[in-house]
């Protein structure tokens, strides 16, 4: 039971799809010899119920905070596959899962910031800016990512964090633009907002909708739309400052 729930919790918290979380938990529970296993997962909670030795058990957990960590999803997937095919025991699976839960990001913080910068800069040039715009946009993307991290520590609302980071990144781009008016403001701003793009929410909501998990799919879709709207509002504010 604990193994199932831990696997589900790690997966859901690190940005796995809802249907994958449900499947993983049901497979682990079946392999452990439980009957009538049912799981219900929404983006913020997990309910698992099963029958074992003529007794029914139900438990529910909430997952308030969510990060994106596809490495953990992959690792939990591996562990569950190994357990279901009988290569490891339940106890060692539980230990492995606990290790995964404690794991930090593979890449250090500075590398993530640099990656955000590279993504921003190259997206700006990809959508038609000159190579001179690469460096300022990369710096702005880095600033956005750093802001996301630090605001995440102090602010409770996710969409507000995105909004504030977008504002600060946009301010930086505006500053660069007022210093070098030959650069194109539009493409630099577009590139800057790339680290805020809700890629995981979009992809997961589509997969959930497709696998018939309508509730989870719709709520993830709303998450994606809200993030996009907060970024758009931030852009509008920056633009009205630029006028």
Q: Contact residues for other proteins (CB under 8 A)?
A: 15-17, 20, 68-74, 77-78, 81, 105-107, 111-112, 114-123, 125-128, 145, 186-187, 189-191, 193-195, 197, 199-200, 202-204, 206-207, 209-210, 232, 235-236, 239-240, 243
Cβ proximity of 188 and 174 under 8 Å: no
Minimum CB–partner distance for residue 187 and other proteins (Å): 6
Minimum CB–partner distance for residue 33 and other proteins (Å): 26
Minimum CB–partner distance for residue 71 and other proteins (Å): 5
Do strands 35-42 and 45-52 pair parallel, antiparallel, or not at all (unpaired)? antiparallel
Give dist(CA 2, CA 17) in Å, integer: 20
Minimum CB–partner distance for residue 25 and other proteins (Å): 15
Measured from the CB atom, is 34 or 166 closer to other proteins? 166
Measured from the CB atom, is 20 or 34 closer to other proteins? 20
Measured from the CB atom, is 36 or 99 closer to other proteins? 99
Measured from the CB atom, is 34 or 138 closer to other proteins? 138
**How many Å separate Cα 242 from the centre of its chain?**
32
Give dist(CA 118, CA 130) in Å, integer: 15
Q: How many other CB atoms are found less than 10 A from the CB of residue 47? A: 15
Minimum CB–partner distance for residue 119 and other proteins (Å): 4
- Residues 119-148 as b/e (b if ≥16 CB within 10 A, e otherwise) read bbbbbbbeeebeeebbebbbbbbbbbbbbb
């Amino acid at each position: 039971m604990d193994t199932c729930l831990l696997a589900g919790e790690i997966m859901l918290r690190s940005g796995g799809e809802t249907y994958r979380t449900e499947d993983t938990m049901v497979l682990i529970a079946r392999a452990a010899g439980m009957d009538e296993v049912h799981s219900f997962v929404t983006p913020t909670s997990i309910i698992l119920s099963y029958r074992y030795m003529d007794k029914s058990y139900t438990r529910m957990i909430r997952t308030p905070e969510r990060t994106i960590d596809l490495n953990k999803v992959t690792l939990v997937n591996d562990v569950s596959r190994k357990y279901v095919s009988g290569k490891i025991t339940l106890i060692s699976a539980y230990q492995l899962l606990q290790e995964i839960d404690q794991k930090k990001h593979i890449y250090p913080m500075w590398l993530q910031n640099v990656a955000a910068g590279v993504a921003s800069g190259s997206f700006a040039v990809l959508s038609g800016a000159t190579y001179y715009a690469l460096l300022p946009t990369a710096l702005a993307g880095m600033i956005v990512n750093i802001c996301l991290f630090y605001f995440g520590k102090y602010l409770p609302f996710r969409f507000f964090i995105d909004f504030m980071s977008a504002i600060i990144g946009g301010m930086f781009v505006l500053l660069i633009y007022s210093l070098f008016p030959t650069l194109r403001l539009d493409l630099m701003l577009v590139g800057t907002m790339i680290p805020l793009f809700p890629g995981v929410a979009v992809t997961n909501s589509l997969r959930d909708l497709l696998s018939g998990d309508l509730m989870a799919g719709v709520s993830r879709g709303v998450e994606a739309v809200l993030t996009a709207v907060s970024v758009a509002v931030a852009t509008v504010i920056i633009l009205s400052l630029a006028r």
